[in-house]
Every structure is written in C-alpha cells, then in structure tokens.
Structure 1
Amino acid sequence: MSLPQARGLDWPGLMRVGLRGLGLRPAEFWALTPAELALMLGEVAGSPPLTRARLEELAARWPDRPAAAGGTDGKG
C-alpha cells in the first residue's frame, strides 16, 4: 500500500503568473507569501456584500439609541 502523493504548490505556474501576468520582478515574487500572491491573483474570496435583510437583522438586534437630552451632539 502506497501513500498518496502530497500536492504541493505549482511553483513554475505561480512564477509564470507572478512574473508575466502581474509583472513582478523575481525579488518581489520571492518576497511574497503564498497568501499574499493568492490575494493579488484574486484567489481569496472575500466577505459577501451586506444584504438588506442582514442590515435589517443587525438594526433590530442593535438599535440606535436617541441621544440623551443636553448631550454633546450640539443640538441640545
């Protein structure tokens, strides 16, 4: 029984996209972490945009409180 092959990073492919695609110099490429390179390539998924439903849920959970009379908001 043999162990499965470990999947490593495709360094030649990453170098091609970094040097040719992004226009990085070799020193700039090698100074990046894999996470930074993935971010530059748009491979990292960000948070989804806030939806109206989520905004309403948050507003219901943490409602704004009216300013106290004579507060420091310049209106009292």
Structure 2
Amino acid sequence: MSERFAPAAGRLAGAAGLWLGWPPHAFWQATPAELAAVMQAARGDAPQPADRETLTRMMEADGDG
C-alpha cells in the first residue's frame, strides 16, 4: 500500500464498521462503487429504484428478458 492509500483505507474501513456495522472483510470485499452506494443510501440520498418498465428494458437489452 502506498503512504497515502493506507491511512485513507484505514479511515474508511473504520467508518464502514462504525456507521454501517460492516466487519473488516465486508469492507475489503466491497468495490468503491458499492461502498459509495451504501453510504449514499445511509445518508438518505439514494437514487429512486428503477420502475418495472425500465427494468424490463434493461433486461431485454442484456438478453435476460
């Protein structure tokens, strides 16, 4: 780890444990995007979920529909 990464990662791991109740392995297995999404939801700033029409369109585009 770099000298800049290690302290920041340690602070984020501590924050995830304190605010989200995540054990260390949950923090280290999460992607930055997952951590950001959970933190955004925790502060009440999460985007609205997709409606059924949007989900259907996305599944069809991905070949899952």
TM-score, scaled to structure 2: 0.48
Select the structure with the greater relative contact order (CA < 8 A; seq sep ≥ 6): 2
| Higher-Rg member (1/2) | 1
TM-score, scaled to structure 1: 0.42
More helix by share: 2
